[in-house]
Chains A and B, each alone.
Chain A
Amino acid sequence: MSGTHHHDHDHGHDHPHAHPTAPDADDLMGYYQLMEVAVRELLIEKGVFTGEDIRRQIERMDGANAGRGGLLVARAWTDPAFKARALADGSAACREIGLEVGALKLIVVENTPSLHNLIVCTLCSCYPRPLLGLPPDWYKSRAYRSRAVREPRAVLAEFGTVIPDDVEVRVHDSTADMRYLVLPRRPDGTDGWSEEKLAELATRDSMVGVALAASP
């Protein structure tokens, strides 16, 4: 897929041109990629938004990645009172540490020695985007959405995560207005670590619940 190919979109009627997703694609631009160009140009012509608006929104989106969720996890690992606040009101806890999350209604669910949490959206692809960025393909796949609620342990095993039978597996189906972040267990051997270093151990997969946090 193309990486950082920049393209001016705010020329309106001046020589706009579309480009395929892969420079060596041997087929014409797909119908829906044509549609994207057409709809975008119509909406710009009608003054609904500008090309600059789109560019800025993409930059904002690109700025959201799992590093932000990792900051929340690292703070919760090092500050028990903060952790309690995060479990009570996830969005407020984000704002407390300077993470702007807009209208996100976040529920933080904590992994413990007797509980492992897993997040899915069976109906579509709801995901805590301000904290983790865009969801990966597998999270949106038929296989994950169908099976995560039905056989979570088998799905976890496919990710290489085996949860013992004496640990409850709790699946959260994001069906409505709330969004979820798993607070993974803090790995052993991290005493005295800075929050910055700890945040790196809180991987995207551990905050979705298909993996444990990375080990030092």
Chain B
Amino acid sequence: MRGHHDMGGLPAGKVEPTEHQYAPWEKRVDAMLVLLGAPERGLMRTDELRRNIEALAPDVYERMSYYERWMASIAATMLQRGVFTADELGRKLAEVEAREP
């Protein structure tokens, strides 16, 4: 089966020459990946980032923005690697959400 990400040669519409200034949260996602992959930590490879993005369901892939996909992939990889548990992540997510006004 062709991966959803493996799109070279498929028909598509016009290239919209959009770009945006990256939001702080997006830069932090990018920074996290770089830090996790640094040799002194070795907690995540770019190849794991890609694999976990490719594993997203096609409709989910399309709906998410670039750094949302990265964030999903980083979380998945950290769970796979056992850096934290789903329980720890779930509790922290709830704690963070509770702070929102």
Does a CB–CB distance below 8 Å link A and B in the complex?
yes
B6 CB contact (under 8 Å) in A32, A58, A123:
A123
Interface size on B, residues (CB 8 A): 55
B99 lies within 8 A of A158 (CB): no
Q: How far is the CA of A25 from the CA of B7 in the complex (A)?
A: 33
- Would you give the 0/1 interface string for A130-147, flagging 1 where the beta carbon is closer than 8 Å to chain B? 000010111011111111
Given contacts A33-B71, A49-B32, A62-B27, 15 further A-B contacts (CB under 8 A): A1-B21, A19-B24, A39-B71, A39-B92, A43-B84, A48-B43, A48-B83, A54-B31, A57-B34, A58-B30, A61-B27, A123-B50, A143-B13, A143-B15, A146-B10
Selected interface stretch from A2-10, A69-77, A178-186, A195-203:
A2-10
Cα separation A122 to B7 with both chains bound (whole Å): 6
Contacts of A150 in B (CB 8 A): 8-10
Contact (Cβ within 8 A) A122 B8:
yes
How close is B13's CB to chain A, nearest CB, in angstroms?
Answer: 5
- A: which residues have CB within 8 A of B? 1-3, 5, 7, 9, 16-19, 21, 28-30, 32-43, 46, 48-49, 53-54, 57-58, 61-62, 120, 122-125, 134, 136-138, 140-147, 149-150, 155, 158-159, 173
CB of A203 to closest CB in B, whole Å: 13
Minimal Cβ-Cβ distance residue in A for B41: A48
Q: Are B15 and A144 in contact (CB under 8 A)?
A: yes
In contact, A138 and B29 (Cβ under 8 angstroms): no
Among candidates B7, B19, B23, B43, residue contacting A136 with C-beta atoms closer than 8 Å: B19
Q: Is the CB of A61 within 8 A of B17?
A: no
Residues of B within 8 A of A159 (CB): 15, 17
Question: Chain A residues near B22 (CB, 8 Å)?
Answer: 1, 134
